[in-house]
Amino acid sequence: AKAVAAPSRWYETGPLTVYEALAAGLPALASARSGAAEKVAHGRTGLVLEPDVDALTQAFRALQNPGRAQDMGREAYAAYWSAPLSAERHAGEL
């Protein structure tokens, strides 16, 4: 896979697929209506977009450049593993 898309139209607190993609070194295409968008550094670890067909189409076109997708994937992996999610960390942040 080049990326993981989570283009939800409804607000979600944090779909786990976005975090799993970042942990695996895949750029995430996250809906701006998703809590997971907070974990995506737009243009660096993935893309945060409005949940509509045009925005999703543009995002997929941007990732057709294999170098850009790979760069985002490397940065996604490094960013995630510099402060990985865990039950302990979640509880501490609450």
Look up residue 77 and give its two tokens. 């992996």
What predicted TM-score, i.e. pTM, was given to this entire model? Answer: 0.86
Q: Tens digits of per-residue pLDDT, 34-45?
A: 888 888 999 999
Q: What is the pLDDT of residue 87?
A: 87
* C-alpha span between 67 and 91 (Å, rounded): 37
From the number of C-beta atoms within 10 Å of its C-beta (0-12, 13-18, 19+), residue 68 rates as middle
